[in-house]
Amino acid sequence: MAMNETAFRAIQNRRRFLREVGGGLGMLGLGHLMGREGRAATGPLAPKKPHFPAKAKNVIFMFMEGAPSQMDLFDPKPELQKISGQTLPESLTSQLRLAFIKKDAKVLASPRVFRKYGQSGIEFSDYIPNIASCADDLCLVRSMYTEAFNHHPGQLLLFTGSIQIGRPTLGAWSLYGLGSESENLPGFVVLTSGVGTSGGASNFSSGFLPSHYQGTLLRNAGDPILYLSNPGGVTPGAQRSTLDAVRDLNQEHLGDTGDMEIASRIQNYELAYRMQTAAPELADLSKEPAHIREMYGVDDPVTKQFGTNCLLARRMVERGVRFVMMMDASWDQHTNLNKGLKRNCDRTEKPAAALIKDLKQRGLLDSTLVVWGGEFGRTPMVEIRNTSDPDNAGRDHHPLAYSMFLAGGGIKPGTVVGKTDDIGFNIVEDKVHVHDLQATIMHCLGFDHLKLTYRHMGRDFRLTDTAGEVVKKMLA
Amino acid sequence: MRGVLWTWAAVSAATCAMAQAQPDFARDVQPLLARKCVMCHNEKMAQNGLRFDDGDAALAGSYSGPVIVAGKAADSKLIARVSSTKKGFMMPPAGAPLAAAEIATLTAWIDAGAPWPRTAKATSAARPKTTHWAFQPITRPEPPDTRNRTWGRNPIDRFVLARLEAENIVPSPEASKTTLIRRATLDLTGLPPTPAEVKDFLSDSRPDAYERIVDRLLQSPHYGEQRARQWLDLARYADSDGYEKDVVRPYAWRWRNYVIDSFNKDQPFDQFTIEQLAGDLLPNAGQEQLVATGFHRNSLTNREGGVDRAENRFDQMSNRTATTGTVWLGLTVGCAQCHDHKYDPIKQKDYYALYAFFNRAEEIDIDAPLPGEMGTWMRARPAYLERRAHLLKVYDVERLQDEWEQRMLAAANNLGQDLEWDFERSAVLTMFDRFEAILRTPKEKRDPKDHERMTYWFINHPGPTKGREVIALESIRTDCRRRLNALDAEHPKLTQSLAMMELPQPPETHIAVKGDYREPGVKVEPDAPGFLPPLSAGAPRNRLTLARWLVAKENPLTARVAVNRLWQDVFGRGLVRTSEDFGTQGDKPSHPELLDWLASQFRDDGWSVKRTMRLILTSATYRQTSTVRKELQDIDPENALLARSPRVRLAAESVRDAALEASGLLNPAIGGPSVHPPQPAGVAELGYADSIKWTNDEGAARYRRGLYIHFQRTTPYPMLMNFDTPDSNVACARRRRSNSPLQALNLLNDPAFFEASQAFALRLARESKPDERLDYAFSLALSRKPTARERERMQKFLDQQATELSAHPDQARQLLPLAPAEAAWVSAARVLLNLDEFITRE
């Protein structure tokens, strides 16, 4: 069977074209072919415009995994002192779903001392004085709620909008919507501290979105990015020569096959090579001045891990990383609340505050949305696993009311949104579902959450599932 | 006083109702319903299964049950809902609420017995009709005539060519022999061909040399592995539970063995289906039929502390229902979990009718010994039992366990009385599914294995010490546990398998209103979806009947869906692109007649996957070159018309396998437990509370195929994820193929790939003469010789590297413990293993 001559000539022309452009002119020519060298001008990670002008360009999400206790940190409930040790009325608890304790568990008052901070006069507990000192920059939401009352489902709902596993996460949606501004770092980076989380990789998965959108873990030890450094014996020069040879042979083959997928692969090898320089440069904190290192506590063994992550987060925002997610675990104080919560605060609250202040002094806070919080809250009732040791008291999971705070890009500073009842059990004003939080984050990034969709299994999916309303009171 | 008030209220309501003239249905009620309710509750859109356009249906009620209680307005949900002002509960949910007078009208009408005059109406008992192509019976179209009568090799080609001719496109020429053998070998085994295989093929001038290659490959034991990989995606196979605890499933692989074996012996797809969905219900079911039911044991299990077990079961059943829908029906059945499907004719009731089949089954772990295990086990058994009995006696286990069981039982019966025992109980319950059932079975009636399990749990979770024999318990926790575990460890194991069994007394299934399992609605019986052919009359409503219905000749979906996936796995794109969705939102087939022809061929020719693959691989369509044709870029950018073969990046596992094979490292063993090749530190640590352990395998296990890599759901092996292995939580019918910088880093710097480069260089030194080395390297990596330009470029690179390394012998030694000139071949191997062509099926 002979081929149609016109068709055959067209292929030959195509080959010649690609060989000339690709092979003849080298990377310069190929660069033109693919847009600006480095950043993906086309392709899935090319920067994209949102639906409307955005306040925030970047997001830093400090995920405090396990559910920090809101009535010991953010939501003072002096009323609990009066009914401490009593059982709550059945009318209140009848619909409550608890993980471990029973509905007749006794009320546990918070031993924390709260006071007002800043001009806004927002109250915070004595465990978080540094975060409190940012009061006038924060929007404290005391009326968060969710449906999930176990960790992994709760984390899925918070990050993917659904308890069903397998949907894309907040960071993946952000990258899908906005693309990446970074020329040589991944657009969605994950930092971890403490122990592993319940959700693991499902908290930064791209779900059914293409895998370019999944979070890349910046590792605490060894290579900051997996497989970043050259194998032993491969010098930087040898690596470059290898890449040149790979590129030339790939270009040759691009000429033969005409498959633009190869052009994309060449581009990705170049990006990988630049990452090899950029990521160690990012992770090298030695050039940060002493006062900044002190501010984040990177040299203090207690704050070192989280402080390093916070400082890295700022450096990533400076370098155009779209979404930084910190996962700190675990805040799941079923037992030893007073000790455990204090330890967590001591490890993290100074660096978290430093991050907000540092972003602000560099003029980055306006364009960076900072979020701090967990997947649900904790009960006003006590959980005791060892009756012979009163110090071991803790609190169970409480999805009906909890607190989170936000700051920066598009968020109203020095505000409190929402109110809970006297014992912090139910919300009485301005309920904010995690879907509403997601809608609001998307809004700050310039998206109508109803319209940022992806077609999968025959229907358009979105982050907020079938719900979500932008919380106007949170917006500047 | 209270009684008086109540009476007054009742009288008052009655008076009011009587005060109003008896409402007339046609004049007062029907227009009201039409205005306020019918928009969402009609034949086409019956929200929550409720209709107000038909009397019988309205009185029958919704998925939640009746909404009108004739004669009792006060008990009727309809009145409660229209009277409410609570958002989310009130009806209608939007728009003006009902006026007080309107509510009074409805109240009076219901109190008067809710008379709904029968009018002539179409009987709605007939099965709903649909015109959607995929729900029509599979036809057997004649292959069309084509102008060109010489190109085609089998009927597939006539369908493809006719379509191309209609667009005035000529097919591409046949690919070179080297491309063909590489393509067929990758497609059928997931591995590249060896240089010797290529050489043999090139020197074979018989007219059917290519067909012989295809036949050889279909007989390769690696064929079953390659087919299994796709089936594992569909079955959301993993080696762990998923969710927070993500507990390892040490015997999940046993079902994988079954899948590989089934494909290798070309088990008919209908039988394969029946065994996996209902092997336990087959008459004379053997061990392998029980192992097969492990298909649905791949759903996730949430063992997080404090989890609601009813919710976990509901999620598992939902996962099984949706998976069955995707895998066999190619439908997004899961969309109907909370409401009627928005686009396809799947009612919420249909969803729970499917769910009901799975709800009748329970999980069970069975012994499924591999050949040779049983004899060893039996021989060791008597001595083991004797030593075990001795230990149990020494530590007085029976008495202490009895006490423990009583405490556990007390905790179960009196929740909240003793917090510490409550906690202990729930800890065991989350990990040991059948704990309570066994606990409530008297010791003498227990299955001995179950009793052994109870003892195991007692010894490992003996409970709080308070008020008990401290010293005895302490020795249970220490010496006894250690000695028993040691004894167990040295006792030969019988391989286990995760299976399903029909419950003797299956629970009823109710619709979960709005998908919330805590809100049971009307009861449903197991059944096939209403818009598809009915189940065979009189057959018991169990999984076996469901499975047989799926593969019945009349079923319009299963054969189409299955054959489309085979096509997709070869051409990178299905005839229906959306291989997971044959519903109205999915793509229409690019070649509808070809799809039907293939489906009918597959079904009527004994459901043979091998024969279908042979048909596809021996077609002229398959044998075309994959060179992109610029003139077709605008007309057919996705190559749906098949005017050429596609270029497709290899699946993650094959990327690894190809590197291992080319370098000679591959361990070609088939089947068996999952392996743990080296994984960088920090990956497993992402898992919950640092509980996930990953111990690198040493020796040959490191070089097994990617298919066998242990898949830990919350912290999967990074290389697999970088190359788009699905996350294995839900069925995946179609993998994505991304192209990312992380893939580049992975291939360049992952120690596993670097090791492959080193081994590749050693292999070159061992197996080829210096002047043939470059040719041999290309044939190992790409199955072909280098072109002149490639040779020139590689030689330049090699010379440069050799010079460089000679100047730095330390570096050279790190690359390879041979001379610097040899070490340069490690660099050359890295180049070849990083080429786009190396990881692409062309």
Is any Cβ of chain B less than 8 angstroms from the Cβ of A5?
Answer: no
Residue A200 and residue B688: Cβ atoms within 8 Å? yes
Whether a cis peptide bond, with omega within 30° of 0, leads into A330 is yes
Asked if B546 and B528 touch (Cβ cutoff 8 Å), the reply is: yes
> Which of A:250-269 have CB within 8 Å of B?
250, 252-253, 256-262, 264-266, 268-269
Q: What is the residue whose two structure tokens read 């079911």?
A: B285
When CB atoms are compared, the residue of A44, A265, A330 closest to B836 is A265
The token pair at A21 is 């452009």
Q: What is the Cα–Cα distance from B596 to B580, expressed in whole angstroms?
A: 17
Q: What is the Cα–Cα distance from B22 to B16, expressed in whole angstroms?
A: 11
Residue A186 and residue B742: Cβ atoms within 8 Å? yes
Q: What is the Cα–Cα distance from B722 to B715, expressed in whole angstroms?
A: 13
Helix orientation angle between B741-749 and A260-283, rounded to the nearest 10 degrees: 80
Asked if B346 and B128 touch (Cβ cutoff 8 Å), the reply is: no
To test the contact with chain B by mutation, choose from A1, A12, A96 the residue with the greatest count of B C-beta atoms within 10 A, namely: A1
Query: Which chain A residues touch B800 with a CB distance below 8 Å?
Result: 241
pLDDT at B19 over 50: no
- The pTM (predicted TM-score) of the whole model is 0.87
C-alpha distance from B38 to closest chain A C-alpha (Å): 23
pLDDT at B331 over 90: yes
Residue B745 and residue A276: Cβ atoms within 8 Å? yes
Asked if A198 and A153 touch (Cβ cutoff 8 Å), the reply is: no
Residue A11 and residue B718: Cβ atoms within 8 Å? no
Query: Which chain A residues touch B830 with a CB distance below 8 Å?
Result: 234, 242
The one-letter code for the residue type at B696 is N
Q: Which residues make Cβ contacts (< 8 Å) with residue A12, sequence separation at least 6? A: none
Query: Which chain A residues touch B724 with a CB distance below 8 Å?
Result: 211
Which of A115, A144, A109 minimizes the C-alpha distance to A127? A115
Q: What is the residue whose two structure tokens read 């978290």?
A: A352
Is any Cβ of chain B less than 8 angstroms from the Cβ of A309?
Answer: no
pLDDT at B7 over 80: no
Asked if the ipTM is above 0.85, the reply is yes
Q: Which residues make Cβ contacts (< 8 Å) with residue B632, sequence separation at least 6? A: B169, B639, B641, B643, B644
Asked if A447 and A50 touch (Cβ cutoff 8 Å), the reply is: yes
To test the contact with chain B by mutation, choose from A6, A87, A184, A227 the residue with the greatest count of B C-beta atoms within 10 A, namely: A227
| pLDDT for res B127 | 63
To test the contact with chain A by mutation, choose from B466, B713, B748, B842 the residue with the greatest count of A C-beta atoms within 10 A, namely: B748
C-alpha distance from A198 to closest chain B C-alpha (Å): 4
| pLDDT for res B275 | 98
C-alpha distance from B421 to closest chain A C-alpha (Å): 9
Query: Which chain B residues touch A237 with a CB distance below 8 Å?
Result: 804
Query: Which chain B residues touch A223 with a CB distance below 8 Å?
Result: 680
CB atoms within 10 A of CB A414: 18
Query: Which chain A residues touch B171 with a CB distance below 8 Å?
Result: 1
Query: Which chain A residues touch B308 with a CB distance below 8 Å?
Result: 97, 150
Asked if B688 and B705 touch (Cβ cutoff 8 Å), the reply is: no
User: Collapsing DSSP states into helix, strand and coil, what is residue B238?
Assistant: coil
SS (H, E, C) B437-491: HHHCCCHHHCCHHHHHHHHHHHHHCCCCCCCCCHHHHHHHHHHHHHHHHHHHHHC
Span B436-453, average pLDDT: 90
- Partnered with residue A87 across adjacent β-strands are A106
Query: Which chain A residues touch B170 with a CB distance below 8 Å?
Result: 3-4, 7
pLDDT at B301 over 70: yes
Query: Which chain B residues touch A396 with a CB distance below 8 Å?
Result: 306
Residue B748 and residue A259: Cβ atoms within 8 Å? no
| pLDDT for res B590 | 97
| pLDDT for res B126 | 55
Asked if B76 and B110 touch (Cβ cutoff 8 Å), the reply is: yes
When CB atoms are compared, the residue of B244, B583, B827 closest to A152 is B244
Q: What is the Cα–Cα distance from A457 to B322, expressed in whole angstroms?
A: 12
Q: pLDDT tens for residues B454-478?
A: 999 999 999 888 888 888 889 988 9
Query: Which chain A residues touch B172 with a CB distance below 8 Å?
Result: 3
Q: pLDDT tens for residues B99-132?
A: 999 999 999 999 988 888 876 554 445 566 789 9
pLDDT at B11 over 80: no
The one-letter code for the residue type at B145 is D
Q: Which residues make Cβ contacts (< 8 Å) with residue A139, sequence separation at least 6? A: A405, A406, A407, A411, A412, A413, A414, A415, A416, A417, A474
Q: What is the Cα–Cα distance from A156 to A169, expressed in whole angstroms?
A: 8
Span B72-100, average pLDDT: 89
The one-letter code for the residue type at B421 is W
User: Collapsing DSSP states into helix, strand and coil, what is residue B235?
Assistant: coil
pLDDT at B4 over 70: no
Q: What is the Cα–Cα distance from A96 to B580, expressed in whole angstroms?
A: 38
**Burial call B734-750: b when 16+ CB within 10 Å, e when fewer:** bbebbbbbbbbbbbbbb
pLDDT at B53 over 90: no
pLDDT at B290 over 50: yes
Is any Cβ of chain B less than 8 angstroms from the Cβ of A229?
Answer: yes
**Beta-carbon contacts below 8 Å between A and B:** 282
Residue A212 and residue B738: Cβ atoms within 8 Å? yes
Ramachandran quadrant class, B521 (left: phi over 0; alpha: psi -120 to 50; beta: rest):
beta
The token pair at B840 is 């692409």
When CB atoms are compared, the residue of A149, A200, A232 closest to B715 is A200
Q: What is the Cα–Cα distance from B403 to B480, expressed in whole angstroms?
A: 17
Length of chain B: 842
Q: What is the Cα–Cα distance from B821 to B813, expressed in whole angstroms?
A: 11
Asked if B526 and B357 touch (Cβ cutoff 8 Å), the reply is: yes
Which of A280-284, B415-419, B722-726, B736-740 is predicted with the least confidence, judged by mean pLDDT? Answer: B415-419
The token pair at B329 is 């029906």
- Partnered with residue B240 across adjacent β-strands are B248
pLDDT at B642 over 80: yes
* Contacts of range B817-826, beta carbons closer than 8 Å, 24 or more positions apart: B818/B762, B818/B765, B822/B761, B822/B765, B823/A233, B823/B761, B824/B798, B825/B760, B825/B761, B825/B764, B825/B765, B825/B773, B825/B777, B825/B798, B826/B757, B826/B758, B826/B760, B826/B761
Q: Which residues make Cβ contacts (< 8 Å) with residue B255, sequence separation at least 6? A: B237, B291, B292, B294, B295, B297, B298, B497, B498
HSE (side-chain half, CA atoms, 13 Å) at B255: 32
Torsion from C-alpha of B142, B144, B150, B152, nearest 10 degrees:
-60
Q: Which residues make Cβ contacts (< 8 Å) with residue B655, sequence separation at least 6? A: B649, B706, B719, B723, B747, B839
Distances, alpha carbon B425 to alpha carbons B69, B308, B453, in Å:
44, 14, 15
Is any Cβ of chain B less than 8 angstroms from the Cβ of A458?
Answer: yes
Query: Which chain B residues touch A179 with a CB distance below 8 Å?
Result: none
Span B509-532, average pLDDT: 93
Residue B730 and residue A165: Cβ atoms within 8 Å? yes
Which of B243-257, B432-446, B749-763 is predicted with the least confidence, judged by mean pLDDT? Answer: B432-446
R_g of chain A computed on alpha carbons: 25
Asked if B35 and B96 touch (Cβ cutoff 8 Å), the reply is: no
Is any Cβ of chain B less than 8 angstroms from the Cβ of A476?
Answer: no
Residue A271 and residue B692: Cβ atoms within 8 Å? no
Whether a cis peptide bond, with omega within 30° of 0, leads into B92 is yes
Which of A33, A263, A306 minimizes the C-alpha distance to B836? A263
The larger pLDDT score, comparing residue B681 to residue B326, is at B326
User: One digit per residue, pLDDT tens: chain A, 476 residues?
Assistant: 344 444 444 444 444 444 444 433 333 334 333 333 334 446 678 899 999 999 999 999 999 999 999 999 999 999 999 999 999 988 888 888 888 888 888 999 999 999 999 999 999 999 999 999 999 999 999 999 999 999 999 999 999 999 888 899 999 999 999 999 987 899 999 999 999 898 888 899 998 887 788 899 898 888 889 999 999 889 999 999 999 999 999 999 999 999 989 998 998 999 999 999 999 999 999 999 999 999 999 999 999 999 999 999 999 999 999 999 999 999 999 999 999 999 999 999 999 999 999 999 999 999 999 999 999 999 999 998 877 787 889 999 999 999 999 999 999 999 999 999 999 999 999 999 999 999 999 999 999 999 999 988 778 999 999 899 999 999 99
Query: Which chain A residues touch B687 with a CB distance below 8 Å?
Result: 196, 200
Which of A430, A340, A333 minimizes the C-alpha distance to A385? A333
The token pair at A398 is 């409480």
| pLDDT for res B217 | 98
How far is C-alpha A23 from the geometric centre of its chain's CA atoms? 41
The larger pLDDT score, comparing residue B608 to residue A456, is at B608
| pLDDT for res A23 | 38
User: Collapsing DSSP states into helix, strand and coil, what is residue B271?
Assistant: helix
| pLDDT for res B21 | 67
Span B311-329, average pLDDT: 96
| pLDDT for res A221 | 80
| pLDDT for res A325 | 97
The token pair at B819 is 């001379």
| pLDDT for res B433 | 80
What is the secondary structure of B335-389 as a DSSP string? Answer: GGGSSS-SSSS--HHHHHHHHHHHHTEEEEEEE-PPTTHHHHHHHHHHHHHHHHH
Max Cα separation, chain B? 111
> Which of A:264-293 have CB within 8 Å of B?
264-266, 268-269, 271-273, 275-276
C-alpha distance from A245 to closest chain B C-alpha (Å): 7
When CB atoms are compared, the residue of A97, A222, A249 closest to B831 is A249
| DSSP3 helix / strand / coil % (chain B, rounded to 5) | 55, 5, 40
Torsion from C-alpha of B746, B748, B754, B759, nearest 10 degrees:
120
The token pair at B645 is 């073969």
In chain A, the residue whose alpha carbon lies closest to the alpha carbon of B236 is A166
Max Cα separation, chain A? 93
- Partnered with residue A398 across adjacent β-strands are A377
The token pair at B456 is 């195991």
